[in-house]
Structure 1
Amino acid sequence: MYADGRRIDEWRATRAESTPEGGPIGHGATTRTLTRRARGCGGTDGVLMTGYVFETSDLLDEQRKYMQQSLDPMTIARLESLEVGPGWRCVDVGGGGGSIARWLGERVGDTGHVLVTDVDTGGLAGAHNVTVRLHDIVDDELPDAEFDLVHARLVLLHLAQRDRALARMVRALKPGGWLLLVEFDCTWMPVLSAPDDAAEALFGRFHEALCHLLSGSGADIAWGVRAYRALQDQGLVEVGNRAHAEAWPGDSAGCRWLHVNSLQLQEQLIGTGLITDVELDALRGLLTDPTFVVSSYLTISTWGRRATAV
């Protein structure tokens, strides 16, 4: 809940009502065409942006490092539950910093293979059984019926054409192969403990501004909760999901990740009119304060299997 008493879902409804012709890009807007991977995001309050908002930052390596520290243990636990093992052929879509591709390479061994793709392969490294490919999941094909596992983490929520990308991932599965998506519900990020009410309200303004930017770039900030139905609609079977949230105390990897985000997007955050540069400086101090604790985003792992022929 924010300082003015609104919940994030109420804010999203208000924003949809005030956006011309159907809401933010990716939610039925028809007033402009989305440039899905536009370089830079720019934008001010009331102006819809295009592209992945973090893409061009010189802090991208730091962002990836803290993201991996925060999410890898949970992601690996989900992969282990699918019994990924020797001989599997896997693709990691949007591999980012490469930590999951490396883990998969070790897991599948010499008899398996991992293809890791991204639109920016600067954070990726190949190995004897790991191939790196420059690839855009919206526009570029994957081999049909090739993989025992397709994995994507925090990819589809950022894509306005997520249904098209998802269909491509499903087609890449062998019969019996698994798709695993790890996505956020960004609307969930309550403050668990704060030095005072003002600190809690400050974080709420930052979170609201960040969600505003993401939605304006074409992201679906609640995509994680919609992934289950999306996998069913693609005809996958044995669909399941598990939601995870944990405490992020000040100076934890999660809070350092948010700190980096605040630097990456400083001008855009200020441009929303929801937070000032002085408040962002105060926020960064708060994110290093061990008496401040915020819940992580609700991280939802959703999996399903391509049906085998009868």
Structure 2
Amino acid sequence: MGRDSRTSQDQGYLLDNRQSEAGTRFEALSALFDASTFRHFETVGIDKGWHCWEVGAGGPTVPAWLAERVGPGGRVLATDIDVSWIGTAGAEGVEVLRHDVALDAPPEGLFDLIHARLVLVHVADRDAALRSMIRALRPGGRLLIEDADPALIPQICPDAYGPEQELANRMRRGFRRLLEQRGADLSYGRKLPRLLRAAGLVEVEADAYFPVTSPACAVLEAASVRQVRDKLVAEGLATEEEIERHLAAVASGRLDVGTSPMISAWGRRPAEDGLG
């Protein structure tokens, strides 16, 4: 849900958790994707007493849900490089740790379930981060990775029938360019099944969820644009007037604003393997 690791670029992570819009983005992401994530947890399997690691948690909703499901006999570890938004909920049974999944050693102990949402797409050393998570799985443990694939459906308004929709899609192209400059892999989501199999996981499956329009999509779009507006202008990707015009169109409710497809992939570490 958050972004858990520094990129190799000097500019740093584009959607910095320390900015004021981050809380609004986390709420919108929860409204859009939590139900899908929780459905995948049920598909993958989760039970009382399990030890779970939520990587790049960002906000509090997913760790709180996991804590309720594993109960007092389980363990839920929520990590991020900026844990300020996780702590706002004070969810009982959630341990919070500042941690960089690509650079730091895996947390102590082995986990029955590890989950990361919207994390690896932003991490420069994605392979190292994925290996770290798999090493932290107990034999038989499950890994669920959910990441966007902006290149799969690049338009934020697929039905671009007028100038407002065309401006929204141009703004999205500028946003994606900023992400690429900071090391994001905009085609990462589709690679997940192959990468999980190559890493030694079995029973690998994947699906995708693609919101086409909703109030939460509009909230997410407005918060994201406000968060990067200075960079859009500095890079010559949009003018202040265009940004204001786009934000006004989003606020009006006239746009069917969507998101990139969220691809969820999951697999199980074999009971006996050489991955440790």
State which drifts further: 160-169 or 220-229.
220-229
Q: Quote the RMSD (CA, aligned, Å).
A: 1.9
Match of 1:227 in 2: 192
- What is the distance in 1 between the residues matched to 2:236 and 2:134? 40
Q: Does 1:246 align with 2:207?
A: no
Gaps of 5+ in 1: 1-34, 39-47
| CA deviation after TM superposition for structure 1 residue 172, in Å | 0.3
Tell me, yes or no, if the aligned pair for 2:32 and 2:211 is still in contact at 8 Å.
no
- What is the distance in 1 between the residues matched to 2:109 and 2:197? 18
Alignment of 1:267-286 (within 5 A): 267-286=230-249
User: Secondary structure at the residue paired with 1:238?
Assistant: strand
Alignment of 1:80-119 (within 5 A): 80-119=42-81
Match of 2:221 in 1: 258
Tell me, yes or no, if the aligned pair for 1:49 and 1:216 is still in contact at 8 Å.
no
| CA deviation after TM superposition for structure 1 residue 227, in Å | 1.3
The count of residues paired between Structure 1 and Structure 2 equals 264
Match of 2:164 among 191, 199, 209: 199
| CA deviation after TM superposition for structure 1 residue 137, in Å | 0.6
When the two structures are superposed, what TM-score results if normalisation uses the length of structure 2?
Answer: 0.90
CA deviations on 1:39-97 (whole Å, 9 max, x unpaired) are xxxxxxxxx75321111422211111111111111111111111212111100001101
Q: Does 1:140 align with 2:101?
A: no
Q: Percent identity?
A: 34
User: Secondary structure at the residue paired with 2:207?
Assistant: strand
**Corresponding letter in the other structure for 1:263:** R
Larger Rg: 1
When the two structures are superposed, what TM-score results if normalisation uses the length of structure 1?
Answer: 0.80
Match of 2:14 in 1: 53
CA deviations on 1:236-287 (whole Å, 9 max, x unpaired) are 11111001112224xx111111100111111111123232111111111121
- What is the distance in 1 between the residues matched to 2:164 and 2:269? 47
User: Secondary structure at the residue paired with 1:75?
Assistant: helix
Gaps of 5+ in 2: none
Match of 2:201 among 236, 240, 259: 236
Match of 2:131 in 1: 167
Tell me, yes or no, if the aligned pair for 2:106 and 2:132 is still in contact at 8 Å.
yes
